[in-house]
Amino acid sequence: MYKKLTKTDDPEEFLDTFYNIGSFALTGSISYYLYQYLYPGFSSFPFGFWLLIFLLTVISSVLSSTFISITCWISRDITTRQEIINLYIGNRSMLDMGKIALSNGLLLLFLQEGNWDRLISVFLLNYIVSRSFYSKSQSVQNKFERDKFEQMAYQDFLTGTFNRSYMDKTMKELEQGEEWIGVAVADIDKFKKINDAYNHAVGDRVIQHFADTLTSFLNNDDYLFRSGGEEFTLFMRNKTFEQTLFLVEEILHGIEKSTVKAEYKDQNIEITYTASFGLYYYKINPKVSIEKAYVNADQLLLESKVLGRNRVSSKLETVE
């Protein structure tokens, strides 16, 4: 109050102090008088004491949500009814309330009995368990954030596929083995004409459609990377050369038959396009790195372009 009168308080300090003191005092007082009032009726039921304690825990949770909603409404931190509802729904889980009811019920029993050793033991145990849950929660949150940042670092922002950085990382990992793998480089035919005829927003929509189509044909063992502007690289695994070539040809025909829906000058338009592919299939070995296989596949892509586009040029590298 002194800091408020002398205008030395921080913004929202008075309201925060009022909430932190007032809400706990009110919640505790209401719970205490409800316990005194309801206990005679509950004591006649089996486990009536514990039912009452759990009920009071739920009521306390509702009261806490009510007080924080009022405080946030006054401070304008929340402004909609949905935000208030979210505070009530997300405030506590039933598991949390069960833990609180059990620990507080034991504390009350030991307090009534004057059993200070057990009371202090339960209090300390409750504190340790709470800290443990908090630490574990923080650890999970930190891991989630690290995974999220890593995902962002390796994800192409336009298509949601892996980017070139992740492609380089995957190459190093795959080179540790000796599996047969199909490396394909795919590129949209005459993409510059699409950008020139419409705009880059339409061009981006075509790239997204291309990435989505490629993804739809691949399984969990395969990889798809955006390795350039409209160029994508595929690593296809656990397939024979014939199966890999058949898959790439299926993708090519799927793209040829599909249309892209986009908006251009306030109109809905449909665009058709084709793509060319270069496929290099070989067994990973120390003599030929996956980077070299990628270069070979890229060269095969150029052959497809020279031969008229909308086709697959492939090569099976036999083991010497």
Task: Write out pLDDT tens, residues 25-57.
Answer: 998 899 999 999 999 998 888 889 989 999 998
* Token representation of residue 148: 């999220």
- The reported pTM is 0.57
3-state secondary structure of 212: helix
Strand ranges in the chain using DSSP code E only, listed in sequence order: 180-188, 223-226, 231-237, 260-264, 267-271, 275-283, 312-316
Cα dist from 164 to 155, 173, 205, whole Å? 9, 14, 20
For residue 319, the model assigns a pLDDT of 62
Q: Are 284 and 175 in contact (CB under 8 A)?
A: yes
**Strand pairing partners for 313?**
278
Residues sharing a CB contact under 8 Å with residue 245, sequence separation 6 or more, in sequence order: 182, 279, 281, 312, 314
Digit-coded pLDDT (tens) for 70-110: 877 777 777 777 777 776 666 567 777 888 888 888 888 88
Cα 201–chain centre separation: 26
Q: Which residues in the chain show pLDDT less than 70?
A: 87-92, 133-134, 137, 140, 144-145, 147-151, 319-320
Torsion sign over Cα 213, 214, 220, 226: negative
| Token code pair at residue 17 | 């102090």
Please report, for the chain, the start and end positions of each structural domain, with discontinuous segments joined by +: 2-114, 164-316
Note the pLDDT of residue 143. Answer: 72
- Candidates 25, 35, 98, 96; CA nearest to 64 is 25
| pLDDT given for residue 183 in this prediction | 97
- The per-residue pLDDT for 144 is 66
E strands, 70-179, where?
Answer: none
Residue 21's pLDDT is what? 84
In the numeric block, the tokens 């060319």 are attached to 276
- The CATH class given to the 164-316 domain equals alpha beta
Residues 6+ apart with CB under 8 A from 148: none
